[in-house]
Chain A
Amino acid sequence: MSLLSRLKGMFQIHRLERDLDEELRSHIDMRAADNVAAGMSPEEARYDAQRRFGNSTLVKEETRAMDIVGWIETAGQNLRYAWRVLRRSRGFTMVAILTLALGIGANVAIFTVVHGVLLRPLPFPQPEQLVRVYDDIRSSNTHDIGMSVPELWDLRDHAGVFQDISFLFPADANLTGSDHPERIELLGTSATYFTMLGIPPQVGRIYTSSDAQPGFSDPVVISDAFWHRSFGADPNVLGKKIRVDGDLYTVAGVMPPDFRHPGRTLAADVDVWATAGLTADPFPLPVSRASRYIPGAMGRLKAGLTLAEAQAQLDNFVAQLSRQFPDEYPAAAGWSIRLVPIQQDIVGSFRTELLVLFAAVAFVLLIACVNLANLLLARSASRQREIAIRLAIGAGRSRLIAQLLTESTLLATISGTAALVTVFCLKSSLLRLAPADLPRLNEISLSPGVLLFAFLISIFTGVIFGLAPALQTARTSQIAALREGSGGSGSSKHQMKFSRLLVASEIALSLVLLIGAGLLVRSFWHLLEVRPGFEPRHLTTAKVWLAVPNNPKENSYFTPEKRAAFQREVLRRISAIAGVEQAALGTPSSLPMEGKHAQSPFAIENRALDSERTPVAEIASVSPSYFSVLKTPLIAGRFFADSDDTHRQPVAVIDETLARRYWPDSDSDAIGQRVRLGVPTNQNQSTAQNPWLTIVGVVGNIKSDGFDTASAPHIYRSVYQAPSYAGVVYLRTSADPGTLGEAVRAEVQQVDPTIPVFGVRTMDFIVSSFLAERRFAFELLGIFAFVALLLASVGIYGVMAYAFSRRTNEIGIRMAMGAKRTDILRMALTEGTVTIVLGVVFGLSGSLVLTRFLQSMLFSVKPTDPATFATIAALLAGVTLLACLVPAHRATRVDPLIALRHE
């Protein structure tokens, strides 16, 4: 019985028992039938049949013992023997355990992350029903343009696919009432938000539809972290008031510690949830389809509806709406609504990255397995006599294979345990390596799933690296092995060939990893060479948020003029801070490489709607000094002036990308042209629209979405004409950002003591955090590739060293006959080269197939970049060739006399 069916037997004890019962019953039936045929009465017949068994339970017990104890005994014997063998060769055991523990540990570590982030369902009831709802403009391939209030109502009441839908409005908010104002993260939602997610609070209650009000409702729900921070986890928190953006709210409930809003937030986890009806102040009124100020929405699909069905129904619904409101949704724009499963939405691009890393560690483990298989093969040569004797005294080959596999599995299990313990101890420091914006970071843990994975992978590893050598060994011809014994020169040619094949496959695997890492490194270099369009050094940024009280009468910044005045004053004051060369101010979307930069549709005056794709651009408001503080060059026209305020004609500055796209002949052609923000509509429409903006200048491109995306077109507005409540200040200075933050806070609070200053960071820091995600992938892959290279070199070194030690005798003869050292080296070189070339060819073809999965992680490097392929292949060939020359060189240094006598 093979090991496998023995293992199966262990899990099938019940079946065994049923089988046995049935077997005995069939025996009794047959005997009884024969007895009846011989003339007994049926009762007598049955009684006689049973009697012959004596105590039938005892028989069953005894028979079953044969089945189960049989294999347990053999397994136990195998295990004890394996333990003895491993203890006898300590060196081998240590090397094997270290190698395997490294491989298994890396796999367990990465799997822990993959499990926590990708595999484990989100902690909500029926998480597969939860979707993010995005508005897109298909004609210009623009995603996520925001939603209008009537659209939200349409989706809620008429689309027929959602059980619940909630808008998501992440916002900065000012918490006042204590010594100094604090910026908190607020999430505005529909009243159905919590019932949609299906998570109860730990204290108090959640808000529900009965709390709905036209504007913001009074009860708010707070997070566990905020409860601890602001209330010291006071159990009597319910009913307490907090002042947010000037208004008082009542704390109605506290969410549990592990509850996180499943989606994007502005800067941190949500502190306070508030619900609003969107039909009263402070929201823009009256509601209109053109006013897409809702940043996003999330819904729960009706039970039993698949994503595809829901999407199809929604497509029909959107087509119907577009027919109903042709002015708001011109056919040319291609307005559409897209559903994305919440898990996919959260994980985003990390999915590919994690899977690539997972594949990479699997490769490392495979390489480690191949290395060990080779070691085992070499060892099996020295164990051949032992094996031959065991065969000779009657051990079955399957029993031998089981024995050898027990050894390798025991090794792998010990290593797996060591790896698991290591990962467990190092967990927190390992997680610190992960980029901070890795989603679901808090859900990563050593769960039962991970333990099961570690167990399975250990067993699997043991079988993988043990199987080939075990089969090979069990094939040993007894006679040959007994005779061969002390290792003649021509020994086991077959086995050497097999080892070489293993080494070649090891080289191939390492090459694939190295090429992958090489491609990522090149991408990263390219990234670093990209000119972002601004100078990040000596630039510090900070954020401010003007409170928006619900009652416009209490809002001291209700009019644009008021906001503009505040901004002018802040700018004047911070420019005067000692050490600041120049300061600027802008809306949050003016801050490059951070957050989400949405593209909005716009119209160009006197251009037909249907003739081209809907134009889109990123929109930001900036102060006149913005471009000079960021060191972005002026290409045509002028920058904004201090006088570009609400009394003057509305103006815009565009960037080169936009100018080239719509006025390709000359950059200055754009000057004097007019654009209007919002989805382009029929121009003779009389509905309220945004004003036309006259283009006064063209500036250089700023890579606002990061180094690796094509430059998005930008439209800038004067911050004095379009001031928002949120602001970012920029300070060109070499002063320490730490003390600078305090100085900015002091100046801002001189203007208004209720305004917090937060998010003080240098631009260098923002850029390097942006690069951190890329760095994470390529650093880890780089480490894995390096380990692979090391293992492969050790592997080929080991095989060559072993081959030459077995051939010391032969080399001695050759040298005695007059062969020169170079001849011997050449011989080694030829033999090594065959293996290496084989490995490199396999590796290159494997890479050609596999590197395409890296596509989305590469930047201006093709997945089949010939330079990378050639360089890495040459490097690997060089290193491995060296690894096989060293033992050859050593062999030639042996005194021929000693070599000849070598046994």
Chain B
Amino acid sequence: MGKPKPDILQGTLDLLALRTLVRGPMHGYGITLHVQRVSKDVLRVEEGSLYPALHRMEQEGWIHAEWGTSENNRRARYYRLTEAGRKQLLTEERNWARLTEAVATVLQFA
């Protein structure tokens, strides 16, 4: 195994997954593809961390899972954003903004 592509920053996986689901219900594989494509291959979602995260968020009530059929006729588990999930997304986005702003400030200051 070569050097892995930059892993997603600790704690941002939830944010990315929730944000992806704003576009509509999607299965786990779809989420990895989406993140990878939109970030132009910079960000890569590890399968090993994605599923525990999805199931944890389901327990929290942020997302809701249902079996469905994928575009090429495969059974897949689709995740949908709940109302609580939307609120959570707002919080996380705000946190993220604060964080990046803080990091940027530090970088400029130094």
Binding site for B on A (CB under 8 A): 1, 19-20, 22-24, 26-27, 29-31, 33, 52-55, 58-59, 62-67, 70-71, 74, 396, 398
Question: In the complex the two chains form, what is the Cα distance from A29 to B27 in whole Å?
Answer: 13
Chain B min CB distance to A56 (Å): 9
6 contacts between A and B (CB under 8 A): A22-B75, A23-B28, A53-B48, A62-B52, A64-B55, A66-B52
Of B27, B51, B70, B74, the contact of A63 (CB 8 Å cutoff): B51
Q: How many A-B residue pairs have CB under 8 A?
A: 72
Question: In the complex the two chains form, what is the Cα distance from A396 to B58 in whole Å?
Answer: 14
**B48, B70, B74, B75 interface centre (most CB from chain A within 10 Å):** B48
**B28, B46, B55, B77 interface centre (most CB from chain A within 10 Å):** B55
Question: In the complex the two chains form, what is the Cα distance from A65 to B56 in whole Å?
Answer: 9
Question: In the complex the two chains form, what is the Cα distance from A725 to B76 in whole Å?
Answer: 85
Question: In the complex the two chains form, what is the Cα distance from A53 to B76 in whole Å?
Answer: 17
Task: Tell me, yes or no, whether B84 is within 8 Å of chain A by CB.
Answer: yes
**Residues 42-70 of chain B: 1 if any A CB is under 8 Å from the residue's CB, otherwise 0?**
00001110011011101101000000001
Does more than half of chain A's interface fall in helix, strand or loop, or is it mixed? helix
Task: Tell me, yes or no, whether B96 is within 8 Å of chain A by CB.
Answer: no
Contacts of A55 in B (CB 8 A): 48
**Number of residues from B at the complex interface, CB < 8 A:** 21
Contacts of A65 in B (CB 8 A): 52
Contacts of B75 in A (CB 8 A): 22, 26
Which residue on B lies nearest to A37, using beta carbons?
B72
Which residue on B lies nearest to A24, using beta carbons?
B51
With A1-B61, A70-B59: A29-B74 Cβ-Cβ less than 8 Å: yes
Which residue on B lies nearest to A59, using beta carbons?
B48
**CB-based contact A59/B74 at 8 Å:** no
**CB-based contact B55/A67 at 8 Å:** yes
**B29, B46, B58 interface centre (most CB from chain A within 10 Å):** B29
Question: In the complex the two chains form, what is the Cα distance from A33 to B48 in whole Å?
Answer: 20
Contacts of B70 in A (CB 8 A): 26, 30
**CB-based contact A26/B61 at 8 Å:** no
Contacts of A24 in B (CB 8 A): 51
With A26-B74, A70-B56, A396-B84: A59-B51 Cβ-Cβ less than 8 Å: yes
Does more than half of chain B's interface fall in helix, strand or loop, or is it mixed? helix
Contacts of A58 in B (CB 8 A): 48
**CB-based contact B59/A19 at 8 Å:** no
**CB-based contact A71/B59 at 8 Å:** yes
**A1, A33, A66 interface centre (most CB from chain B within 10 Å):** A66
Chain A min CB distance to B6 (Å): 16
Chain A min CB distance to B49 (Å): 8
**CB-based contact B76/A23 at 8 Å:** yes
Chain A min CB distance to B21 (Å): 16
Which residue on B lies nearest to A60, using beta carbons?
B51
**CB-based contact A30/B74 at 8 Å:** yes
Contacts of A22 in B (CB 8 A): 75, 77
**CB-based contact A67/B59 at 8 Å:** yes
B15-52 contacts to A (CB < 8 Å): 27-29, 46-48, 51-52
Contacts of B51 in A (CB 8 A): 20, 23-24, 59, 62-63
Question: In the complex the two chains form, what is the Cα distance from A26 to B32 in whole Å?
Answer: 14
- List 14 extra interface pairs beyond A24-B51, A63-B55, CB under 8 A: A1-B58, A1-B61, A20-B51, A22-B75, A30-B74, A31-B29, A54-B47, A62-B51, A64-B55, A66-B59, A70-B59, A71-B59, A74-B59, A398-B61
**CB-based contact B29/A30 at 8 Å:** yes
Chain A min CB distance to B10 (Å): 16
**CB-based contact A59/B47 at 8 Å:** yes
Question: In the complex the two chains form, what is the Cα distance from A31 to B84 in whole Å?
Answer: 30
Which residue on B lies nearest to A23, using beta carbons?
B77
Of B47, B61, B72, B77, the contact of A33 (CB 8 Å cutoff): B72
